[in-house]
Every structure is written in C-alpha cells, then in structure tokens.
Amino acid sequence: MSLKSLFCATALLTLAAPALAQTATTGNVIFFHPDGTSVNAWGAARMHLVGPDGELNWDRLPAMGVYTGHMQDRLTGTSHGGATVHAYGVKVQADSFGLDGSTPITAASGKTMSIAEEALAAGRAVALVQSGHIAEPGTAAFVASSPSRSDTSFISREVIESGAQVIMAGGERFLLPEGVQGRHGAGERKDGLNLIERAKELGYTVVYTREELMALDTASVDKVLGVFARGHTFNDQEAERNLIDGKPSYVEGAPTIAEMTDVALKIVSRDPEGFFAVIEEEGTDNLANSMNAGGTLEALGRADEAIGVMRRFVDANPNTLLITAADSDAGGLQVIAAPDAKEGDAVEATTEGGGILLGQQGRFGDVFLSAPDARGTRHAYGLSFVGYNDVAGGILVRGAGLNSSLIEPLTDNTEVYAIMYRTLFGQVPSQ
C-alpha cells in the first residue's frame, strides 16, 4: 500500500477511533538536508568529483522520488518555511520559522510539537548538526519557533535549551554577550546571556575545532555542543570577494559536515531508545546563492562525503532510515560545456548557440576540468546561475534503509515528515 493510500486509510480509522493505528516497524531516522541542491547541482558534483560516468554516494541511494516543495502561499520554497514543513508535516506560509507565519502550528501528528520535539518527549536522542550558524532554519526550526528568522538571539537560546543531545554548528557570535571574546571572535547578544556557559550548566561538553571534536571519547560523552566558527563554517561570498579578502571557501580548523556527522551518530546511536538526527550542509545553498562556482563544488563534495558516512551507518544499522532532500534550488545552477577552454580560463554565458565566451572574468566564474570519464578524458566546463535567489528547480527525495521504500515517485514535502514520523513512531499521522 502506498503512503498516500495509508493517509486515506488512517483518516477513515481516525473517524472511528481516537488512537492512531500501528503500521510500521520503528527505528532511527537520519534526515540530511543538503540545502539548495537540485539534480543539476548533483550532476555538476558528479562530473567534478568522479567524472560523468562515475557514481556519487548520493547516486547510490536506492530509493528516489521527485520532490514537490511548494509553500502555502507560493510555488518556491524558502529555507525557513521548508524546514518548518519538514519539522511539522503541514504546509505553511513561506515566511515561517516553526510557526505558520506568526501562528502556532498543529502538526500532522495532531500535536503542537515538531517531530524532533516529539522524539525528545519519547526519550529518544536528538542530534542537530549544521555547517551554517546555530540559528539556521534547516536544523533550528525543528526545535525553535519565532515570528522572525532574523531573531537569531532567541532562536539560538531555543536550540541550546532544546534538550538535543548533540548540537554542532557555527554561530558563536549568537551565543555570547556583546563584547565578550570567544574562541572565534566577539559575541553580539544584547541580553547579556552567555549561552555557552548555559550549555555547560546543562551538561554539554563544548568543543571549538576539528581537533577537539575528533579527540572526544564518543563511547562515554553524552552531550556535546560544537561551536566551530563565529558565523558560518564557510565564507559565503562571491569567489572574487573571497580572493580579495584572502578567505577560503570553508573556515580553516572547522570540521567538515562528514566529520561532524560521524561523531554525532556515534554518540546518539548509543541511546537504547533510538535517535532522530537532522543534519544540514548549508554551504551548498549559501555559496550557490553567492554564485561562487568553486565554493559550490566544494560544498557539494562535502555533502556527498557526509552521505557516504550516513550510508555506511545505515549498512551497519539497518533499523535506520536515511532520507535526504533539499527544499529549493539555490541559484538555478547549470553546467555549460567549454570544449575550447582550459582550466583556469574565465567564462561568461552567451546567448549565441548556448555556449560560452572566454575572456574577462565574468559572473559565471572559471573553467573547471571534470574528473576523467570512462575513456580517461577530462572535459572543460563552466557553471552558470540564474541569479542570487532560490528557484523551484528539479529536486529529488532519496533514501536508504528502514522504510525508504515509502518514498514515492512523486513525494511532497509534507510526506518527508510522514515517512520520518512513521519510522520513529510506527504510526501514520492523522492529518
């Protein structure tokens, strides 16, 4: 029976009985959100990392469906609105952060809690792992609600006090009082709260660098707060600006999303009641929105490496669902052939024949060489972008492990929640 059929059947059962029917074996859930990644983005990653005939870790996920990510009031998703749909399973307004606009949500489960909050209430471990700052909605909207996504001080406090066993992100500036120096720079909070000290009071072991993270004893540490940058763990500017400023695409000394994921899963998987992990690579979105081609390719490589970590975990722990999707297509990335170019040349799009022009540095960045194809040939190409905004794009839901067969050929963003909910709780949401 398809998931949509189960929704209908459950709705009929709910009319006759208040309890939800048990419908599935329960287990762990890993939701990976490589923000802003379309099929085109993964195609560029494939060409760049393993060649056009190769396979990414993303390619090896067996379950697949086309993702529909429209909001209540618009066709294109937003980061905070999309995360809220994933967390609650209901369509909300695009400008929503754990709410429907400014109104509290009744989740698809019939409760007012997000799926992460229900997992915590049921005694399961929760991990929130993020390459962006701690108030980024892809993870934070699962435990925080705010009328404004810009209220980073409030959202950061909600995350720290959420009860999640593992929290990893950047954003030290949102955790320290204004003027207080941290490991990565000065704080910005105007309310005087020191949320790092608050985290220590709550029992968190705090780490600040890749070296400190990798030194943790994952067999004994119970609660971890990773604070790996003052803002994001990446520099989301145009490539030219990063070059002028002398900044790499990613902050030196910060762990990759794969390294964070590996440590987080080792910790939360020790919980006998199971776990729910929300993991986001935010650089795939922000760097693409900056039309930073090289940075976007690096971010995609990091995201795929993290999928490899998750796939290996699922292979060793088959009672775990891995499900992954973006909520929008950042920048509308396209690959453009550059047959007469060499690596390092600058490219610009041209309307003549759909090709490219070589010459002065343009908004579409440099020429890259693909990894070798099956014949050993490396191909020159460039990346172009629609603009600095998010578009609907072509997005896939992919998955592996427990209940991944519930991913249908056409999977709505609300159904991502439903598949995760069924796996965690053995029930189909009543709405």
Residue 280 annotated as binding? yes
Give residue 243's pLDDT: 92
Provide the 3-class DSSP secondary structure of residue 97: strand
Give residue 68's pLDDT: 97
Residue 236 annotated as binding? no
- pLDDT over threshold 80, residue 353: no
Is there a single domain that holds both residue 183 and residue 55?
A: yes
- What percentage of the chain has pLDDT greater than the value 90? 82
**Residue 245 token pair:** 């400023």
358-379 average pLDDT score: 72
Is there a single domain that holds both residue 268 and residue 377?
A: no
Is there a single domain that holds both residue 134 and residue 263?
A: yes
User: Which range of residues forms the domain containing residue 367?
Assistant: 334-384
Give residue 362's pLDDT: 35
DSSP string, 333-382: -EEEE-TT--TT-BEEE-SSTT-EEESS--TT-B-EEPPP-TTS---EEE
Considering the domain boundaries, does residue 281 fall inside one?
yes
Give residue 337's pLDDT: 87
Considering the domain boundaries, does residue 341 fall inside one?
yes
- What percentage of the chain has pLDDT greater than the value 70? 88
Residue type, 300: L
31-50 average pLDDT score: 97
Give residue 348's pLDDT: 53
**Residue 248 token pair:** 């790499």
Least-confidence region, from 295-309, 312-326, 350-364? 350-364
Is there a single domain that holds both residue 177 and residue 313?
A: yes
Residue 117 annotated as binding? no
Is there a single domain that holds both residue 39 and residue 151?
A: yes
Question: Cβ(145)–Cβ(97) under 8 Å?
Answer: yes
Give residue 340's pLDDT: 72
Going by C-alpha positions, the residue among 95, 135, 47, 111 that lies closest to residue 371 is 47
Taking CA atoms, 367 is separated from 214, 239, 291, 323, 345, in Å, by 36, 13, 14, 33, 5
Least-confidence region, from 157-166, 302-311, 364-373, 391-400? 364-373
Residue 427 banded pLDDT, cuts 50, 70, 90: confident
Question: Cβ(373)–Cβ(382) under 8 Å?
Answer: no
Give residue 346's pLDDT: 57
Is there a single domain that holds both residue 324 and residue 351?
A: no
Considering the domain boundaries, does residue 14 fall inside one?
no
Give me the chain's average pLDDT, please.
90
How many folded domains does the chain comprise?
A: 2
133-159 average pLDDT score: 98
Considering the domain boundaries, does residue 6 fall inside one?
no
- The reply to whether the predicted model has a pTM over 0.85 is yes
Is there a single domain that holds both residue 246 and residue 283?
A: yes
Cβ atoms within 10 Å of 104's Cβ, excluding its own: 9
Question: Cβ(84)–Cβ(99) under 8 Å?
Answer: yes
Residue 363 banded pLDDT, cuts 50, 70, 90: very low
The CATH code of the domain that includes 242 is: 3.40.720.10
Q: Residue 125 class from Cβ within 10 Å (0-12 exposed, 13-18 middle, 19+ buried)?
A: buried
Q: Rounded distance, CA 13 to CA 111, Å?
A: 18
Considering the domain boundaries, does residue 13 fall inside one?
no
Residue 343 banded pLDDT, cuts 50, 70, 90: low
Least-confidence region, from 52-61, 113-122, 238-247? 238-247
Considering the domain boundaries, does residue 21 fall inside one?
no
Is there a single domain that holds both residue 316 and residue 343?
A: no
Is there a single domain that holds both residue 250 and residue 309?
A: yes
Give residue 338's pLDDT: 81
Q: In which region does residue 179 sit, left (phi positive, over 0), alpha (psi from -120 to 50) or beta (all else)?
A: left
Considering the domain boundaries, does residue 5 fall inside one?
no
Give residue 145's pLDDT: 98
Is there a single domain that holds both residue 271 and residue 362?
A: no
> Residue 79 catalytic?
yes
Tell me the H-state helices in 161-282. 195-201, 210-214, 239-245, 257-268
Q: Rounded distance, CA 171 to CA 176, Å?
A: 10
Give residue 361's pLDDT: 34
Least-confidence region, from 168-177, 250-259, 270-279, 379-388? 379-388
Give residue 367's pLDDT: 85
Is there a single domain that holds both residue 261 and residue 355?
A: no
pLDDT tens, residue by residue, 313-333: 999 999 999 999 999 999 999
Sequence-distant (≥ 6) Cβ neighbours of residue 212 within 8 angstroms:
none
Set 2, 5, 79, 148: catalytic member: 79
Residue 315 annotated as binding? no
Question: Cβ(255)–Cβ(282) under 8 Å?
Answer: no
Question: Cβ(413)–Cβ(69) under 8 Å?
Answer: yes
Considering the domain boundaries, does residue 151 fall inside one?
yes
- pLDDT over threshold 90, residue 295: yes
Is there a single domain that holds both residue 90 and residue 106?
A: yes
